[in-house]
Amino acid sequence: MTRARDLVRQHWPDEVVVATQALTGGVSARVTAVTLRRVDGTDWRVVVREYGPRDLAATPDVAAQEFALLTFLHGQGLPVPQPLAHTPGMLIQTFLDGRSGAEVEVDPEQLARFLARLHGLVPGTLALPILPDVSPQTGPPDDSLSESRIRAALASHPPLPGRTAVLHADLWPGNTLWHSGTLSAVLDWEDAALGDPLADVGNTRLELLFFQGEAAMQTFTAGYATRTGLDLTDLPAWDLRAALRPCGKLHTWGLEPAQERTMRERHAAFVTEAVARLALT
């Protein structure tokens, strides 16, 4: 927390840091809330994100990249934190009230509305990476999550990129905040990229299935399709791409045994359904 405190002092030297608090939920970054006291005696809070080695190795200027993206998205009226300042490896943004979607039941219709708005934006000159291809297999396949089956299906029917949109690339309930049942913020944009909107749709479908079940996943999908009119013919391939993400990693997520069993069962059903639909395309 010392680095976060020092960075905030650099930008607001006339204000007093009265408290710091580590925020839960950060996986790829250390997240700290810092409370400042103005000269008039009122307090306000900011959030400092300190990026981890993975993000810094992949994108050394990730803080500047996320600052520019959040500036753009906030200017478009999307529910995202307002960026305030950045330095290499660290970003300061506004503190937003709400409870993590990992702790409360999220509204899939609101997630669909958010993604539809995001994907409808014109990227312009945003300096974002292109969504990478499916990562190559390294080591033995995780066939407890059907990795060999998924890769074989994708080799025969790879996802075909369509139009290019701004992607969050990791939209799951834990990267959202909710206040009185309303989506108040979408967080953690370090994986943002340019690519086919269906990449986001497939990922969020699987995450909703994991955490809230089949009905939430289908409500989200129908809501997104209605709002965008996007052709979902190629969605099964993007679903399978999303299904690769937990392969070899799910056992490291620190889940309770019962929750992990449920997620494995739902993942298996998701893969079976996608493979069956892919065979019909």
pTM: 0.93
Note whether 46 and 32 are within 8 A (CB): no
Note whether 130 and 205 are within 8 A (CB): no
pLDDT of residue 99: 94
User: Pick from 27, 23, 183, 166: which is nearest to 95 by CA?
Assistant: 23
pLDDT of residue 169: 96
- Could you report the per-residue pLDDT of 174-208, keeping only the tens digit for each? 999 999 999 999 999 999 999 999 999 999 999 99
Query: Can you list the domains of the chain with their CATH numbers?
Result: 2-96 (3.30.200.20), 100-279 (3.90.1200.10)
What's the CA angle centered on 63, arms 128 and 110, to 5 degrees? Answer: 65
Gap between the terminal Cα atoms of the chain: 52
Note whether 68 and 30 are within 8 A (CB): no
pLDDT of residue 26: 55
pLDDT of residue 124: 84
Give the three-state DSSP class for 120: coil
Start-end of H helices in the chain: 2-11, 53-58, 62-75, 108-119, 147-156, 197-212, 214-228, 235-243, 257-279
Contacts of 116 (CB under 8 A, 6+ apart): 223, 224, 227, 228
- Could you report the per-residue pLDDT of 4-23, keeping only the tens digit for each? 999 999 999 999 999 999 98
What DSSP character marks residue 250? G
Tokens of 87: 């330095």
Note whether 55 and 190 are within 8 A (CB): yes
Strand partners, 99: 178
| Cβ atoms within 10 Å, residue 137 | 14
Q: What sign does the CA torsion over 84, 1, 19, 40 have?
A: negative
Q: Give the integer Cα–Cα distance in Å for 120 and 164.
A: 10
What DSSP character marks residue 252? G
Contacts of 189 (CB under 8 A, 6+ apart): 66, 69, 70, 73, 80, 168
- Show pLDDT as tens, one digit a residue, over the chain (281 residues): 688 999 999 999 999 999 999 987 556 789 999 999 999 999 999 999 999 888 888 888 999 999 999 999 999 999 999 999 999 999 999 999 999 999 999 999 999 999 999 999 998 888 899 998 888 888 899 999 999 999 999 999 999 888 899 999 999 999 999 999 999 999 999 999 999 999 999 999 999 999 999 999 999 999 999 999 999 999 999 999 999 999 999 999 999 999 999 999 999 999 999 999 998 87
Query: Pairing relation of β-strands 165-167 and 193-195?
Result: antiparallel
Half-sphere exposure of 106 (CA within 13 A, CB side): 38
Distances (CA, A) of 242 to 26, 98, 199, 207: 21, 27, 7, 9
